[in-house]
Structure 1
Amino acid sequence: MPDVVFPLDSTKPFTEQKYVGHNRWHPDIPAEVSVRPGQTFRVHCREWFDGAIHNDDSADDVRDAPLPTVHRLSGPIAVEGAEPGDLLIVDILDLGPIPQEDSGPLAGQGWGYTGIFATRNGGGFLTDQFPDAYKVIWDFSGQRATSRHIPGVSFTGITHPGLMGTAPSADLLARWNRREGALIATDPDRVPPLALPPLPDDAILGRLEGEEFDRIAAEAARTAPPRENGGNQDIKNFTRGTRVFYPVFVPDAKLSMGDLHFSQGDGEITFCGAIEMGGFIDLHVDLIKGGMDAYGVGENAIFMPGNVDPRYERWLAFSGTSVTLDDEQRYLDSHLSYQRACLHAIDYLTTFGYTPEQAYMILGAAPIEGRLSGVVDIPNSCSTVYIPTAIFDFDVAPSASGPTRIDPGMGVPRSAF
């Protein structure tokens, strides 16, 4: 086993660990540990809410989820010799739930969760159709996930970190805050908000204290979106065997990671749409000196996906176009067409007896594939959702005998505001 450079103790909160991570982006958050180019090492990661979500049949914890506290990131980890303009090579060698802990109160101890966030607390991709909070608990058996809340479904998870990235420079951070602030100003009272501004409350900045903490907390960017440094990209194929090339914006790169997922469908459409867990990740790092200019990677990471995905032979695909539910035509709106494809898939799955919420959770957590299938044929964009048929223990293909009716069981726990 590689040396654990960033350990976490499951019996202690995130802020009481040997090394304290962070939940904001800022170049001046000090690195907790350092590694060398060519080194292989292990990092422990806490699930993004640090134990606020419980293994039970209530969705009240998702309704009340403390969104300003996320994400709990392990790091920053300094990479010795990294300089602005370099490319940081990160190989994902292995990752999974919390090792040797297959039961307990923390997600990753043999179980994980998927949530639909209430509109007032972040919402989701289909928040207009699903405005309340819901939760599904998934049990892990090796690489397989099953749920008491969604019977008749099991699948192999594609484990991956939802979030990994390097620290931004002061200039890049200022650009983030400027452009996202301008977006918020266009509709400052929108629910859910258009973006999340810096928020000193609930900021975790390693072991910083006093005036330096206050200064950085007032400037530091939230970790919710993907940005030029990587960040919260939620790419399901970003798994074992992946090699990623991150732009380096600050000395020592300051690599951080977290938000581990046992599985996820393309788009993580319920917002808390993956199967969230704590766990470990084994990494190898190296550098390409001057690589940003040499390869034209001035912003945004590039990566080579791993090849350990489950191999499904048959899929059922649903298409959607850029027309709203009330029949308004939009011009090549791929976001809308993917929403419509997802809604068509949800409608289809309800014919077998699933509730809409169960179907929505399946799309968020199972390894579905989402594709932009047409972006040039005005006025309609076309997007498609591919569902592997083997995740169901009954036949979901259309037939002359009609859809099989399944027992939906206890259903998905719901909590409304």
Structure 2
Amino acid sequence: MAPLTPRLVVPIDVKKKPWEQEVPLHNRWHPDIPPVADVTQGELFRVEMVDCTGGQVRDDDSADDIKSLDFAAPHYLSGPLRVVDAEGVPASPGDLLAVEICNLGPLPGDEWGYTGTFEREHGGGFLTDHFPSARKAIWYFEGIYTHSPQIPGVRFPGLTHPGIVGTAPSAELLNIWNQRERELVEAGHESLKLCQVLHQRPLASLPTSHNCLLGKVARRDC
């Protein structure tokens, strides 16, 4: 018997912005964001997605896009998906959900990825003292292998990062998150010893409406 063809539940047009997609995306964890599709327990299905920057990084030799990356815009998520059993009963908070990722790969016509280091004044990185300026390398896929014109002579099997996969929090859990983050913001980094060495980075980041995308929730309802 031929293998099953996965059902495409979230298509992506790489020529469009995240907020222009036919099936709306989202970038907030919230239980009130409606599902865009139902999937059945045990079903094989396909989900397409944008990259973690939402298309801010371009396929070119310039690192200006890395230098000016808007950190409030990344991680547009495909979904939410509602998981139902054979009788159509949806999963609920507290249920155990196991997901098997059967395959990962670039979308046809978009077979490239990138690595980069951020500008010191724009977030930096683990090796900021050695690499204070923004840098970028574009990697092109050839089968399982990848190579970069910015790093000549290097070719290796690429392992695709699956990105962020998670479940929407219940309203109760969301309130716990927000309360915990709010207390950290109000107390300041001086309240924790760890932050004495991380004082330049935010310890907590409360959600804002900036670049908010809530799937099927109308913008006026944000």
Normalised to the residue count of structure 1, the TM-score between the two structures is: 0.46
- Deviations, residues 208-241 of structure 1 (Å, cap 9, x unaligned): 125531xxxxxxxxxxxxxxxxxxxxxxxxxxxx
Equivalent position of 1:27 in the other structure: 31
The CA deviation at 1:151 is 2.3
Q: Which residue of 2 aligns with 1:186?
A: 188
Whichever residue aligns with residue 200 of structure 1, its letter is: S
- Percent sequence identity is 48
- Shift in CA distance, 198/128, structure 1 to aligned 2, threshold 3 Å: farther
What is aligned with 1:61? 65
String of CA shifts for 1:348-400, please: whole Å, max 9, x gaps.
xxxxxxxxxxxxxxxxxxxxxxxxxxxxxxxxxxxxxxxxxxxxxxxxxxxxx
Question: Which one has a larger percent strand, Structure 1 or Structure 2?
Answer: 1
**Which of 56, 73, 96 is the aligned partner of 2:105?**
96
1:60-139 alignment runs, 5 A limit = 60-80=64-84, 81-99=90-108, 101=109, 109-139=110-140
Q: Which runs of 5+ in 1 are unaligned?
A: 102-108, 214-417
Question: Where do residues 10-409 of structure 1 align in structure 2 (5 Å cutoff)?
Answer: 10-80=14-84, 81-99=90-108, 101=109, 109-184=110-185, 185-187=187-189, 190-209=199-218, 212-213=221-222
Answer yes or no: is the 8 Å Cα contact 1:120–1:192 preserved in 2.
no
Q: Distance in 2 between matches of 1:120 and 1:194?
A: 17
**C-alpha distance in 2 between matches for 1:191 and 1:120:** 11
- Give the superposition deviation at 1:144: 0.7
Query: RMSD of the TM alignment (CA)?
Result: 2.1
CA distance in 2, matches of 1:175, 1:132: 38
Q: What is the SS of the residue equivalent to 2:173?
A: helix
| Distance (Å, rounded) in 2 between the aligned partners of 1:9 and 1:202 | 20
Secondary structure of residue in 2 paired with 1:24? coil
Report the equivalent of 1:266: none
Bigger Cα displacement from structure 2, 81-90 vs 69-78: 81-90
Structure 2 residue ranges without an equivalent (≥5): 85-89, 191-197
Q: Is the 8 A contact 2:10 2:46 kept in 1?
A: yes
Structure number, greater radius of gyration: 1
Contact 1:31–1:77 (8 Å) recurs in 2: yes
| Matched position secondary structure for 1:68 | coil
- From the superposition, tell whether residues 26 and 119 of structure 1 become closer, same or farther in structure 2 (CA, over 3 Å): farther
Question: 1:187: Cα distance to partner?
Answer: 3.4
The alignment partner of 1:176 has SS state of helix
**Cα distance in 2 for residues equivalent to 1:211 and 1:16:** 17
Task: From the superposition, tell whether residues 205 and 140 of structure 1 become closer, same or farther in structure 2 (CA, over 3 Å).
Answer: same
